[in-house]
Amino acid sequence: MLLKLHIQNYAIIDDLVIDFSDNLNIITGETGAGKSILMGALGLILGERADSSVLQQKEKKCVVEGYFNSENKTAVKQFLIANDLDADEELVIRREIAVNGKSRAFINDTPVNVNQLKALSAALVDLHQQFDTLELGDADFQREVLDALADNGKLLQQYTTQFNQYTKTKKELLELQQQQTAANTSYDYNKFLFDELEEANFKDNELEELDAELKLLSNAENIKQQLGSIYFELKESEQPIVQQLKALNNRLHALEQYHGSVEGLNKRLLSTQIELQDIADELEQINDSVQYSPDRIQEVNDKISLGYKLLKKHAVNSTNELLAVKEALQEKLNDVLNISEAIAQKEKLTATLLQQCEQLAKTISANRHKAIKPFTEKVNGLLKQVGMPNAQIKIELTAVELNHSGSDAIEFLFDANKSNRFEPLRKVASGGELSRLMLCIKSLVAQKLQLPTLIFDEIDTGISGEAAKQVGNIMKELSKGHQLIAITHQPQIAAKANAHYFVYKAIKGDKIITSVKLLNNDERITAIAQMLSGEKPTAAALQNAREMVGN
């Protein structure tokens, strides 16, 4: 709800404050008095483009402030929280235009950009000017109207949750399928590389060990000859070293009785003899195990050749690195199989969610179809009351692909002259027709939608008499639960006001400025009488105005 509007240095407004009532606020005044200027100033805090040409005093900045009560506005609170702004019950929106034409916007004294300002103000104020056809022709607004009357609120919340989950799952499925396509492209090659390594069947450090074996095999004869010679000298020559040590040990043993140190030396000599005996035995075993085998040499050579070829192919330097390549290839092959399993599960979940969404969308669509007839009948009835007896509205629902709002495309069609040639609203309805149509529609949905402050600028274009009276009645009824602000030239509408503001020009010093006055009851009667009969109202006009206000 708009509590107060404060305008400084805007066009011919010097410094103006307007306090609004909770219900129906009517603004009247002569043509050119400045009513449209008020709407222009209000548009600034709603995020419209700023222009330094509006500065009355070029050396001072322009400031427009709107004070709002946002206590029960869920959308407003969500916006403030989402944008880290103070969420007080009283909300102050300020727009400043500097002398150089640059503008700044503030929400509760925190600087914001124009897009943020527009987003917030859309939840606070619905400004409908005579040639503003955007909202009524907007598909989202038309859908919101129909869904409000169809009581689809909870169903749509449930559907939105399901549809978001469905689109998320569908996107994940597509990503998995793309991964599988990419994986399949390299699968055959990876499988070939893996099979090649699997067939080679290398063990840990095998190539390094084969290298050592090949050296041994290639030098087998020389090795056996040297081992045999050493063994011969140790154990089988005419004077084997082991036997000589044994004899020396016996001789030294005989001397133990003569010197205390000899016993220790004899033990050491005995240990040496035993060690050489063991060495000789191991040399014999090694010598027996070393066999020259051309077949084994060829086998080892072939395995080493294959190994080096694979090392070079995979740009690694050891058997273990080659085995790591094999393990990585195995993981890639497994990933393809795992993706296939994940795709199968995701396809099943996607199909389930799609079925749930389709069922909910079907119910939502059925509710919409059911609401169309009573809605159009009521709107068409109200159109007759507001001076459009030949006008008709029709709602067309077309089945479309599942989307964020269901499976219907909704179009409000309009025929102004009973021609049965219905066209989209945005193409055929005039500004005045749209304003009255908007009033009729919003009067029906007001109790089901949390509407912002409604502002109608010259909704009475082209009507008078009974039609104007009916427009006033509808606005009065609508204002019982919502704040309305309307600029009008019709006395029948002005008479319904809870607060009647009169816009006029005044002289301040050497300047003409726009001023606004909240009229008391007598002033209202005079103003309405002037609207009925001219600047100097007759007694009959005054009596008529008195009756209109009284009623």
Q: Are residues 536 and 470 both part of a single domain?
A: no
**Inter-residue contact 4 to 20 (CB < 8 Å):** yes
Q: Are residues 490 and 458 both part of a single domain?
A: yes
Q: Which residue has the higher pLDDT, 531 or 223?
A: 531
Choosing from 338, 355, 385, the residue where a domain stops is 338
- Give 523-529's long-range contacts (Cβ < 8 A, gap of 24+): 524/494, 524/495, 524/497, 524/500, 524/549, 525/549, 527/28, 527/494, 527/500, 527/502, 528/491, 528/494, 528/495, 529/491
Q: Is residue 16 part of a domain?
A: yes
Q: Is residue 305 part of a domain?
A: yes
For residue 262, count other CB atoms closer than 10 A to its CB. Answer: 16
Provide the residue range defining the domain that includes 532.
Answer: 525-551
Q: Are residues 514 and 529 both part of a single domain?
A: no
Measured CA angle at 149 (ends 148, 153), to 5 deg: 35
**Inter-residue contact 526 to 537 (CB < 8 Å):** yes
Q: 3-class SS at 480?
A: coil
pLDDT tens-place string over residues 432-446: 677 778 888 888 887
pLDDT at 216 over 90: no
**Inter-residue contact 515 to 506 (CB < 8 Å):** yes
What pLDDT was estimated at residue 134?
47
Give percent of the chain above pLDDT 90: 28
Q: Are residues 125 and 213 both part of a single domain?
A: no
Q: Is residue 39 part of a domain?
A: yes
pLDDT at 133 over 70: no
Distances (CA, A) of 345 to 174, 180, 333, 352: 13, 14, 19, 11
Q: Are residues 121 and 203 both part of a single domain?
A: no
Q: Is residue 147 part of a domain?
A: no
Q: Which residue has the higher pLDDT, 174 or 510?
A: 174
Q: Are residues 186 and 331 both part of a single domain?
A: yes
Q: Are residues 212 and 292 both part of a single domain?
A: yes
Q: For the residues 380-408, what does the mean pLDDT come to?
A: 91
Token pair recorded at residue 233? 């000298």
Q: Is residue 12 part of a domain?
A: yes
Strand stretches in 404-550, DSSP E: 406-415, 423-424, 453-457, 484-487, 499-508, 511-518
Q: Are residues 82 and 187 both part of a single domain?
A: no
- C-alpha 453/C-alpha 23 separation (Å) is 10
CA end-to-end span of the chain, whole Å? 26
* CA nearest neighbour of 430 among 126, 39, 133: 133
pLDDT tens-place string over residues 465-511: 888 888 888 889 888 888 899 988 889 999 999 999 999 888 887 78
What pLDDT was estimated at residue 360?
96
Choosing from 286, 315, 338, the residue where a domain stops is 338
Choosing from 284, 310, 338, the residue where a domain stops is 338
**CATH code: domain of residue 100:** 3.40.50.300
For the chain, how many structural domains are there in total? 3
Q: Which residue has the higher pLDDT, 66 or 225?
A: 66
Q: Is residue 471 part of a domain?
A: yes
Backbone φ/ψ region at 518: left (φ over 0), alpha (ψ -120 to 50), beta: beta
Token pair recorded at residue 108? 């509760």
pTM: 0.63
Q: Are residues 296 and 315 both part of a single domain?
A: yes
Q: Is residue 150 part of a domain?
A: no
Q: Are residues 186 and 328 both part of a single domain?
A: yes
